[in-house]
Structure 1
Amino acid sequence: MQDGGEGSDPEVVGARALREWVTGEQNEYSRVFLLDSGAAADGITGAAGPEDAVLLPVGSGPYDGPARAVPYSGGFREIGDELFFGERGVELQDYIAASFVQIVGPTAVCLVDEPSCRAFVDDAELARRTGVFPSALLDPRVLLANRRALVNPDGLETPRAIRVGTDGAISLGVQGEVIGDVDDLQTVLAVPLPRAAVWGYRAPGDLLAADHRGREWIERYLDATDLMKMLRLANGAVKISGFGWSLTDDDLADAEPVTADPFLLETAEGFMLADTRTLRRQSLSPVTAEVVAVTQSSSTPEVAAERLARRLGTRRSAAEALCHEAVTVLDIHFGRRVSASCPTNGGGR
């Protein structure tokens, strides 16, 4: 049994593993197993490997496998439940309720039913139109459950967040479907499933999958909430391109920024390019900000050069050079083409 590595704080290791189990986004572990109170630890010994983590209820008995194992107390199945690693606790809360209750500590927010799924989609649409984000998702203590599935509900993958029930039932994540029994664990874990299976109820999963087909920008919306937290910003403190604001207003944009691109912001101090993946921040001159805005909202170099030449009153060759330099130096990309019926951002200047 591994305890998280030499010198590792079990509470920190447990918190990291739980984060990955809740969100479905694996960074340190290939898979995370959470055993409910009363579940036998020996049921996963042959399935959990050295790259996995196991969250064990206090008093569950010995675990002799190679995975990193961390004990916890409490529970994490029903809304209002709290799970503890030592003195550190995480509460499970409903998405809608999280907007009205006082967040007092680390909280995992879940889409528990169709109304909460619809509320999530409506909030995302509102942020895209107005630049106003739901307050709960701007709180650094809040973790959005099943984030990986929200980004791509139709995607197929083998289980990453596994719950072992008291009766030996194997299910997915916080609320997911029962997919088998602990006696067949290795076989069950080898079968790819839609990511939407983490919700465990058909209607909301279908709703999110259907909504996603016209909302590929959902991941960028979630990245924008990360950006607000990274910069410690409240609603209204800055303008974020694509969320209620656009630096360009020529009506010639035919694309929106690709998901992984840095964000263009206008702050009280000027323009900034910020990347939630690399944590890089860079101040921009007004002209460079124009180049970035045009490049990210144009589907091809030709479209971008034509638009930029008009905006700057320069030759097309000079505009092409500026776009190429921005792509090379600032690590931005030409945008993802959208249909004429889909607006490329939520507002104007």
Structure 2
Amino acid sequence: MTAQLEAPATGATREVKGSRRTLKTWGSGLVSADVFESGLAPFGDTAAVVVLDRAEHWPRLLDSGVVGADSRVFVPRAEDSGPSPLVMGYEGSLSDPGGEVQVGASFFLQTQDYGTSEYLSLIGATLVRVVDEADLETFLDDADRARTTGVFPEFLTHHLVALCDVPALGGRYAEDGPSLRLFVDVNGAISTSPSGLRLGEVGDDFATLEKEWLRLNGAGELPCSVCLGAAISDEVRVPAITARPWLSRYHDAIAGIRHLRGREIGFDHEIQVSGFGARMTPELADVDAPADDRSGAPTLLWTADAAFVHSPLTDRVFRLEREAGAVVERLMVHGSVDAAAGPVPEETLLQVRDFFARAGLPLCD
């Protein structure tokens, strides 16, 4: 078996990398492993990333204690300052689909609604938002199609795209909430996203915002009730997400494809994902209740030339020979060496299992 840990992309300036990745984390509601030290946001009693729609609210927000020394704050037309907190000015709108913002001298970011993204040209870093029930239906249709056919929306798997508000769309429920991200609208109302339920207003302290976020989510049947709550009611969202318990794996599969496409591996739907339309080993398609449907499990992807194991928790990827990839798939689908034993020698299964366990990517029990 051969394995190789893919190295991070290089060549971008520190300013562009910081702004792009921070805003992707803010938009998605998921902590991006390459934004914060050791992959962990500075969670505590202040917000890690804050976006304001109007600069006039910045002084009162700062005085309220919501922003701390480790916060990263985006303020319209502000002069960059910091690093405690790090304040970055921007031009444009981060809340209106169809808008574009400029951060610094060279970084541009678009925002698009989900329903029209398929038909628009991608010209750079883009946040894609589900803005209404029609968008939610289109998103779910795309997910269903990928699950049965293995064909993913091409725009959504581009490495420059981030889907917004993933915790409300069936993604892994991480640390979304006021400690990760906040948005302050034109009137000074505060939520975690432009489509989110109101948590308070400028001047409220962090404890007030956190308490309201916990109350609203505690009343919901499925996380996250806040970040899309102003655009889509839980009466519509919850049944649709609950009916698809595999949606977190769909988000993980998209992350894996993005990782490979960002390294120019696989184009024109060449990348396939185990459990979505097919298996590398066809007989595994008949396994009932496959173990790799669990949230956070590694994702197995393959092309005509190689197989790849991607960790959705750390965005690490291993490249394997296809033969080794088939062994990985057997372990992941069956969930244990004993259940996977048969066509593959137990010694080989143990070798592969232990290799990935040492690397911090457990394939099975």
TM-score, length of structure 1 as denominator length: 0.79
Structure 1's 260 and 291: CA in aligned 2 closer, same or farther, altered over 3 A? same
- Partner residue, 2:317: 280
Residue 300 of structure 1: CA displacement?
4.5
Counterpart check, 1:43 vs 2:78:
no
Give a deviation string over 1:66-88, Cα, whole Å, max 9, x none: 42111111122222122211342
The 8 Å contact of residues 273 and 282 in structure 1, kept in 2 or not, is answered as yes
The 8 Å contact of residues 131 and 239 in structure 1, kept in 2 or not, is answered as yes
Residue 294 of structure 1: CA displacement?
2.2
- Partner residue, 2:149: 130
Give a deviation string over 1:242-265, Cα, whole Å, max 9, x none: 111111416344314134343334
Residue 284 of structure 1: CA displacement?
3.1
Give a deviation string over 1:10-67, Cα, whole Å, max 9, x none: 55433333222111123424421111124321112222112211111115x9989942
- Residue of structure 2 aligned with 1:303, choices 318, 339, 348: 339
- Structure 1 or 2, whichever has the larger Rg, is 1
| Residues 1-349 of structure 1 mapped to structure 2, 5 A cutoff | 10-26=15-31, 27-28=35-36, 29-30=41-42, 31-45=48-62, 46-59=65-78, 66-86=84-104, 87-152=106-171, 158-159=177-178, 160-191=180-211, 192=214, 193-194=216-217, 195-201=224-230, 203-232=232-261, 233-246=266-279, 247-249=281-283, 251-257=286-292, 258-275=294-311, 277-284=314-321, 286=323, 288-305=324-341, 309=342, 311=343, 318-319=345-346, 321-331=347-357, 332-334=362-364
Overall identity of the aligned pairs, in %: 24
Residue 267 of structure 1: CA displacement?
2.6
Secondary structure in 1 aligned to 2:140? helix
Give a deviation string over 1:177-211, Cα, whole Å, max 9, x none: 12211122323332224323111337454444333
The 8 Å contact of residues 257 and 271 in structure 2, kept in 1 or not, is answered as no
The size of the alignment, in residue pairs, is: 316
Structure 1's 32 and 278: CA in aligned 2 closer, same or farther, altered over 3 A? closer
- Partner residue, 1:344: none
Deviates further, 269-278 or 209-218? 269-278
CA-atom RMSD in angstroms: 3.0
Structure 1's 327 and 215: CA in aligned 2 closer, same or farther, altered over 3 A? farther
Secondary structure in 1 aligned to 2:225? helix
Q: What is the CA–CA distance in structure 2 between the aligned matches of 1:199 and 1:283, rounded to whole Å?
A: 39
Q: What is the CA–CA distance in structure 1 between the aligned matches of 2:316 and 2:164, rounded to whole Å?
A: 23
